[in-house]
Amino acid sequence: MTKKKVIKNTEPKFTGYKVLVKEGNKLMSCTSAGLRVQYISDKFVSPRRWGGPLTVFDSKFLAVGFCEKILPNHKESDIKVYRCEYIPTMVQHVWRYRDGGLKSKAVSELPEKTTLAKRVKLLKRVI
């Protein structure tokens, strides 16, 4: 009897940092605009139906620095930063359909070193 070799998927893994807000027992995206996404540890999540893609910081330090920008809208104890794995996208705009129209921002309009992703999976809490 011969053993078959199992070939593993060797797609590269991309890691980054995600800023989230804790609301009760839920971890939610920190955007103040509609179409917020709920994140669950160790599971890939995708953007909501009328928006996309998701955003991830390349640097832990930039993610932590971004926390200060969202403080006026959230309590400091509710803001969390997670290391995450993500699947990148070729899309160069973040978009949301709300209030009867399409709202869009180019990557260049987002905070420094923001990467856009099709899906994001939380790995470990940093802060």
pLDDT tens, 56-95? 999 999 999 999 999 888 999 999 999 999 999 999 999 9
In a domain? residue 20: yes
Q: Do residues 126 and 17 make contact, with C-beta atoms less than 8 angstroms apart?
A: yes
Number of domains in the chain: 1
pLDDT of 97 strictly over 90? no
In a domain? residue 59: yes
Ranked by mean pLDDT, the top range of 29-38, 75-84, 96-105 is: 75-84
Strand partners, 26: 23
In a domain? residue 41: yes
Instruction: Indicate the Cα dihedral angle 42, 47, 48, 53, nearest 10°.
Output: 170
**What's the whole-model pTM score?**
0.87
Q: By percentage, how much of the chain surpasses pLDDT 70?
A: 92
Q: Can you give the residue range of the structural domain that contains 22?
A: 14-125
